[in-house]
Structure 1
Amino acid sequence: MLLLLLGWLAYYTLHSVLAATSVKAAVAARWPRVTHYYRLAYNVLAAVLLAGLLFYQQQRPSTALWEQRSGLLITGYALLLGGTGLGLLALRGYNLAEFGGWGYLRPGNLPVSTDLNTSGLNARMRHPLYTGLLLALAGYLLVAPTLPHLISVACSALYVLVGVRLEERKLRHHFGQAYTHYQTRVPMLLPRLRKH
């Protein structure tokens, strides 16, 4: 289990390091032609490493941490489905070609976001994708309450909570006063039911 824990910590550390603006700038300065492929390579690497980590996790012994009861199971599935649905709705507000990295592959096209998106779910919370992920993680643990799943959920939730702070810093730097104003009007993760 210690190796699994270290694997998750290494995965999320690498994920953050490779997402850092300074690392992307260093790669662009050293290998300018690679800039078009960086985002796609980053996402492919993340997916491959995640698949390997999840495969390793599935090989670990998985005794239930508590007796599964129907109420917890129903709650778990509701959180899992609700969080996944929220995440999918949140993705509608993104430029998926930029987000996934394949938009950069078109010759002469760098689909960099220049406008701050404050519509749709982003009018209710600043990070609906992260909120959906946290709900889905909680549901996942309730549906499959084992020690390996607890380790992965705890590491992932911690990463989201730390990662959202790092992303906020990047967004403030990128959008300046517009993002600072947005922060004062819209909550980070828990939606405001009525518009401010």
Structure 2
Amino acid sequence: MQARNQADWTSAAGAAPAPVEPLVDGLTTWCREGNRSPDVDRGHRLLAALTQSRTDASRRRPLTCALLTGWQRLILGRPDVRFRRGDAFAKGGRERYALTPHTQRDFERCLRDSTDPRVPLASRAARAYLDVAFFHPFADGNARLAMLTLGYVLELEGVRLDQVGPLQTTRLADDAVGAADLAALVLVLIRSTRQRATRPPHHGSTSPLEPPDQLHRDERT
């Protein structure tokens, strides 16, 4: 929570264009690949969860723990998913996410922040992603859920990305600068998606999924 509160979310990313309809649906592609897992059913489960999340977005359902639990049941293919009952660990045990009597309540409050109009869209999406990653609400599948949560916040504003792979890097719970950098990267992805979707085709053009120079710079930092 300390890094979350320290990050300058209002300055981390500027205004994002909306709506954005990509040439290629990056989140659907990511789900179909099953997050590069050898488990072929994993991709099918992710697609089912993505479909449900977009149905929920079309109905403007608030982002709550109950909503995420429904997606997580589809992601894991299990009906018995519930908020974790003990401390969680990640990165080979190097990070510990303690469970307190207030953890779930604090998580719900953070999820409500995803609609705060004072914070730019890219920052809200990045922050919701990190909330899921670092509250670690479920015993398994939190990284996949975090990606769907980011997509949900964007979907509510009519924004879809043509690629999400650059978002998948290791992040630290106490890194406020890294949190702000993620928001900036989300903004770059939104703008580059719109640019590729709206620019006229020309001879010798690069692949529609080739990111602009700015995105390459962000990925190297």
TM-score normalized by the length of structure 2: 0.32
Higher-RCO chain (CA-CA 8 Å, sequence separation at least 6): 2
From the CA coordinates, give the structure whose radius of gyration is larger. 1
More helix by share: 1
TM-score normalized by the length of structure 1: 0.35
